[in-house]
Structure 1
Amino acid sequence: MSRLNGKLVVFGKIIKGVGVLRSIDHVATEDGTNCPTQEVVIVDCGEIPEGADDGVCNFFKDGDPYPDWPADLDKKPDEFSWWMEAVDSIKAFGNEQFKKQDYKIALRKYCKALRYSDVCWELQGIDGGKCSALRKIKSQIYTNCSACNLKLGDLKGALLEADFAIRDGGDNVKAFLRQGQAYMRLKDIDTAVESFKKALNLEPNNGGIKKEFAAARKKIADRRDRENRYSFLFNFCHGCEHAFRLQRLIGFSPPCRLRLQQKLARFCSN
Structure 2
Amino acid sequence: MDGSTVLRIATELKEFGNKAFKAGDTELGLDKYEKGLRYLAEYPALVEGDPPQVFQSIKALKFILYSNIALLHNKQKGYREAEDAATKALAIEEVAGPERAKALYRRATAKVALKDEDGALDDLKEAHKLAPDNAAVTKELDAAKKKLAARKEKEKEAYKKFFS
TM-score normalised by the chain length of structure 2:
0.87
Give yes or no for the alignment of 1:146 onto 2:70: yes
Cα deviation for residue 106 of structure 1 reads 0.3
Residue in 2 that maps onto 1:162: 86
Name the larger-Rg structure: 1
Residue in 2 that maps onto 1:89: 12
The whole-number CA distance in structure 1 between the counterparts of 2:25 and 2:77 is 14
Cα deviation for residue 125 of structure 1 reads 3.4
Q: Give the unaligned 5+ runs of structure 2.
A: none
Counting aligned pairs with the same residue, the percent is 30
Residue in 1 that maps onto 2:146: 218
Residue in 1 that maps onto 2:24: 101
Q: Secondary structure at the match of 2:115?
A: coil
Q: Give the unaligned 5+ runs of structure 1.
A: 1-75, 237-270
Give the direction of change, closer, same or farther, for the CA distance of 1:96–1:204 in structure 2 (3 Å limit): same
Cα deviation for residue 126 of structure 1 reads 4.6
Cα deviation for residue 217 of structure 1 reads 0.5
Q: Secondary structure at the match of 1:120?
A: coil
C-alpha RMSD of the superposition = 1.9
The structure richer in helix per residue is: 2
Cα deviation for residue 230 of structure 1 reads 4.4
Q: Secondary structure at the match of 1:168?
A: coil
Give the direction of change, closer, same or farther, for the CA distance of 1:125–1:167 in structure 2 (3 Å limit): farther
> How big is each residue's C-alpha offset from its partner over 1:57-88, in whole Å with a ceiling of 9 and x where there is no partner?
xxxxxxxxxxxxxxxxxxx5x3x323212221
How many positions carry a matched residue from both structures?
A: 159
The whole-number CA distance in structure 2 between the counterparts of 1:185 and 1:127 is 42
Cα deviation for residue 202 of structure 1 reads 0.9
1:1-270 equivalences under 5 Å are: 76=1, 78=2, 80-121=3-44, 123-126=47-50, 128-169=52-93, 171=96, 172-236=100-164
Cα deviation for residue 96 of structure 1 reads 0.8
Q: Secondary structure at the match of 2:133?
A: coil
Q: Which has the higher contact order (CA 8 A, sep 6+)?
A: 2
